[in-house]
Every structure is written in structure tokens, then in C-alpha cells.
Amino acid sequence: MNGQYIQNIAHLLNNGFGDMRQDTLEIINSGISNAIPYRATLDLIQVNQDEIVAGKHRYPKGSWNKIYVVGVGKGSFPIAQALEERFGERIEKGIVVVKAGETRKLEHIEVFQSSHPIPDERSIIAAQKMMEILQQAGEDDLVFAPITGGSSAMVNAPADDIDISELRTVNELLLKCGAEIGKINTVRKHLCMLKGGRLVQHAQPAKVITLTLNTAPPDMPWPDMCLPDPTTYQDAFKVLQDYELWDKVPLSVQRRLERGLACPELETLKSLEGMKHTLYSVADPVSACIAAANKARELGYSPHILSTALEGEAKDAGIFLAGITNEILQHARPFRSPCALITGGETTVTINGSCGEGGPNQETVLGFAAKLYKRGEVVFASVDTDGTDGPCDIAGGIVDTKTMERAEALNLNLNNALQQHNSSHALRLLGDEIITGHTGTNVMNLRVVLIK
């Protein structure tokens, strides 16, 4: 399953420091490769003559009847692929909901394309298909649930009288306000009848085995459908208030949250106690960063993982990393070159007013380039490991010490591109946009600074 995920690598080597760009992209590729959950799923799930083994749990022959697969998310396909390889025709019925554009098929599991990051009618159809399978599962059955990032948009069972257009409006407002993904999901979970642990609830009395990507600090996965929800209607209401969105969301959404505040029985599940459920992680940002560090060392750079959970405004993350890089260039501290600075985590973009096309990783590299000293040999790349950075087909971008000079020659103002949130346009003009297509994983962002 591991391969070359960067599709336009030859194109990206035409600019700046070609050899260092090659090294940077190899390091990025190694990180992505190590985060594909296919192999880890095969290692986790074993099928012997007399039993199925899932991690530390054993299911002897005779203790289960049928096998179902119900999954969703940007990293769910490779997990479902591994499950089909393990169980084949023993899968009674299955569906995996993927982001539109993932065209690969499976023999025993339906692959259903849905929308992301803004939900549409397909997300409702997907939820209905999943519910139909969950309702078939009985007490002696096993339900494998590959649930990864992106599921909150791809599958929706709207509560009360909320329709899809109103759900779209809420998602658009939340994504533009600069809120962290955890806060966005706090609202989403209280507007949907599948999130907040309810997938596990709907699957009972079957045994549910959730396979996910561990992407949320500190060490808590985010398969919202298969975990108890520590947030409340009050928390969701506060998110909308804090970001001044309450008066902007549709009335149906306001009514739902007000009902939830008044009726505790509508609250999402706070515990899965008594339900048959186990959860395993089959990929995470830490392993992606470690793989990137190992590749950097192999290529002759001293690797330093600064953080696997760097968050905040995307442009500011780039400025921060440029500051560390400049200190190394000028004072050889806190590290000496040649070195690699590696970070993971998820950044956000706050949009006020109109905007162009772009995403967090693209704004991170432009913020870095704008503050990097014009000295030494430095290359910086940042990608979303799922292959799509924001609502576009670009995974991220790559810049170096020569980027500002090249931008000036093109009469391209990078600060204006950042202010207008039009980073994709700038990177395309520079020829520095990274294209991967769908990777099959989603462990947030991966960033690599190489200093020669």
C-alpha cells in the first residue's frame, strides 16, 4: 500500500533548491505512507480457523454469527479494504462512506461517495444506508466500524426539522469563523442523530469494533459516532455565542439547541457503559512524524519533532516556524544545521468577509516564506495528509529561501494573498502547489522545514 503520494514531484523540483526540495518531499511522502491504516488494520485483525482476533479481544467460532462493516471518513477506505481482505464473502453487508473523488471499489462492501467539508444530500443518504445495516445487526453479530476524520460532514441524520440547506449554512459559518475542529464538532454532534456515540447505540445488541485514527490531543481519537460525548448543548450554544454566530444560524438550529438545553434526555451519550464496544487506533500523527524524522535522518539531516499537535491560526504557525528557522540560521540555536524541523497537528483559518481559494497548509507556507531570512538554504513544505487542504484539490505547498524573490519577479504580493485568503492562486503562480489526490489517511497536517 505504501507508494509515492505526491503526484507532481517533478514539477515542484523546477523551482528553488531542487535537491533539498527532493529531500523534503521524500520526507513528507514517508510520513504519509506510514499513516495509511491498511497495514496496521491487517496486523490488528487476525482470522484463525477457530476464532477472530481483534487486538486483545478474541471472538471464538460460535460466539458470533454475521459480520457487518459500517464506516465513514477520509481514512476509512484502506481500513475497509483490509477488513475485506480478512473476511471476504463472510461479510454479510457493508458500506464505507468516502469523500467524493475516491473512486476505488470493493467487492463485498459498498463504497459510497459523499461531500466534504460542507454536507449535502449525499450525507443524509449515507446516514440512511448506515442505519439500515445497523438495524440488521443482532446480538450474535460483529459490526466493524472504520470511523475516521471527515465523518462529521460526510454522514448526517439531522435532528428535528433541520434540513440539509440549513445544516450546510451552519457548517459554512463554523468553518469560516476560525474555530478549532473540536468546537466545530461540539455543535455538529448536537444537530445529528448518529454522532455523540449513537452509532454504537444503534448497533446494539451487536458487538461493535471501532477502527479509527488517533488524531485529537491528548491521545483521544475523534470518531464522534462511536465515542461518548463530553460536550453538552450548553457547550454548543456557547460556541455559537463566542464566535457571534447565534443570530446567523437558521431558526431550526436555534430551536434544536434550545430544546436540548431544556430537555436533558436529548443530550448525546456521556457513557457507553453496558454496550458491547471496543476501539482501536490504526494510525496517528505521532507515527507519521516519527516516520518523517527517520527519513530525514536517513537523508543526512538531524531531525527534531517540535510538536505533533501544533494548532492555531495557519499563517501564524508559518511565522512561528520561520522565527525558529531564522534563529538557527543566524545563531545556530536551538539546533545546528543541517537539520529538519517536523510538526504535526491541525491549524485553522479565520475568514472575515470574502475570500479566494486556499487552505490552512497553503497559508502556513506563505506565512513562513514572508518571514524567512533571505539567506542560507531552507525548504519548507506543509500538507494535509488526507490530500485536500481546505475546499480545493491542493494538498499543501512548498517554499524556500528563493520564494520571495520569485514572487517579486512575478509581481505577486504574498501578504495580499494571505489577507485575501487566496493562497492557492499564489502557489499555482509560483508552481509550488503540492498535489497528492486522495491518500487514504487523515492524521491532520504534516510540516517539514529543512535547513542545510
317-361: per-residue pLDDT in tens?
999 999 999 999 999 999 999 999 999 999 999 988 778 999 999
**CA-wise closest residue to 229 among 273, 261, 269, 289:** 269
Task: Match 499564489 to its residue by C-alpha cell.
Answer: 426
- The average pLDDT across 172-182 equals 89
Reply yes or no on whether the pLDDT at 219 is more than 50. Answer: no
Reply yes or no on whether the pLDDT at 412 is more than 50. Answer: yes
Reply yes or no on whether the pLDDT at 2 is more than 60. Answer: no
Predicted model pTM: 0.91
Taken in order of first residue, the domains within the chain and their CATH numbers are: 9-35+285-451 (3.40.1480.10), 38-157+192-232+267-281 (3.40.50.10180)
Residue 111: in which H helix or E strand, if any? strand 110-114
DSSP code at position 282: -
The per-residue pLDDT for 217 is 56
Angle (CA) 31 36 39, round 5°: 120
Beta partners for residue 71, in sequence order: 96
Mean pLDDT for the chain overall: 94
The per-residue pLDDT for 400 is 98
- CA atoms of 99 and 102, how far apart (whole Å): 6
